[in-house]
Amino acid sequence: MSRVYNFSAGPAMLPEEVLKRASDEMLDFGGTGESVMEMSHRSKEYQAIVDACEASLREIMNIPENYKVLFLQGGASSQFAMIPLNLLNGSGKADFVITGQWANKAYSEAKRYGDCKVIASSKDKTFSYIPELNKADFTADADYFHICLNNTIYGTKFSLLPETGNVHLIADVSSCILSEPIDVTKFGLLYAGAQKNMGPAGLTVVIIREDLIGKARDITPTMFNYQIHVENGSMYNTPPTYGIYILGLVLDWIKGKGGLSAMKEHNERKAAVIYDFLDSSKMFKATVSGADRSLMNIPFVTGNDDLDAKFVKEAKAKGFINIKGHRSVGGMRASIYNAMPIEGCEALVAFMKDFEANN
């Protein structure tokens, strides 16, 4: 069976080169006679894999030395609690911009631990835009300011970062990390589930500035204390060993493609293929417009539920899978992470043109 074009929002498609390399190394990694899946996380062979992965991530993202990189588990959702337990311990206040389901979950969890304020929300229009922010509304003595940089479900993205001054900016970058350059120095903490642009589900990456470590409240579970993981090099318990290995392969692939600037250019070209068609179509319509459009996740609708369902069914039969939109938006969604080739976007648009002509 030939490979399909997988437009899943996550777990998402991986580069074929990465899958083939992993396949070649499955039974015998580097002459060890064993698979990485079988390898002790305490072995020098596995330590070399972790060290190389971190070094590659630091190089590609230009992560400064005063930031720690952690390879954790529990998904981005665990970070919704881990962040306030570790950081909401000064004034006990935090600001949030609610731009979708995940931003709202981060806020809902954090307010269990402190005084959390919604600065702005786009819920009034089904999160189809990034709301304007008024700096006068920001909490001057907040422990942190939280955003979801790219909104997987709703297809929006912050084109400009909030200017938070001395307040630590924190971002969920699960669905946009490695898709384009990020100035890490603008943030106190970045976190991401790996299952979109970095590798398989099960790995969570946290990039945290050193001065934010060691502030966990006394009730913080050991596994939720950043300091524990920093002191143990992400090896306090058995880490998601295979996920880290695959991330290392993905990073090698990105380096081979020219790094994050090249990824951004590639992703802009891919997104333009789909957005340009949607903007000219008489049947299909993008749910987000203007500068708020995501490069990674493109929701679109026909305006007719039956027609949407027919499109999803026929698309699957043609090899375009996981294109059904999230239930809160409806319609369709094309998630076009780094591994999606431009040919996939062009083939999808060709199918959409045929579908429009026939319906």
Residues involved in catalysis: 102, 172, 196
- In whole angstroms, what is the distance from residue 280 CA to residue 351 CA? 15
- In whole angstroms, what is the distance from residue 80 CA to residue 338 CA? 26
Which one, of 118, 232, 103, lies nearest residue 170 by Cα? 103
Tokens of 88: 């909401």
Tokens of 159: 């084109």
Q: How many CA atoms lie within 13 Å of 262's alpha carbon, on the beta-carbon side?
A: 9
Vertex 18, ends 206 and 157: CA angle to 5°? Answer: 45
The 10 Å CB-count burial string (b at 16+, else e) for 8-45 is bbbbbbbbeebeeebeeeeeebeeeeeebeebebeeee
Q: How many CA atoms lie within 13 Å of 119's alpha carbon, on the beta-carbon side?
A: 26
Handedness of CA 230, 233, 238, 243 (dihedral sign): positive
The answer to whether 144 and 280 are in contact (CB under 8 A) is: no
Coil vs helix vs strand at 92: coil
Tracing tokens 């050193």 back to the chain, one arrives at: 210
Q: How many CA atoms lie within 13 Å of 205's alpha carbon, on the beta-carbon side?
A: 31
Coil vs helix vs strand at 146: strand
**Residue 140, class by beta-carbon neighbours within 10 Å (0-12 exposed, 13-18 middle, 19+ buried)?**
exposed
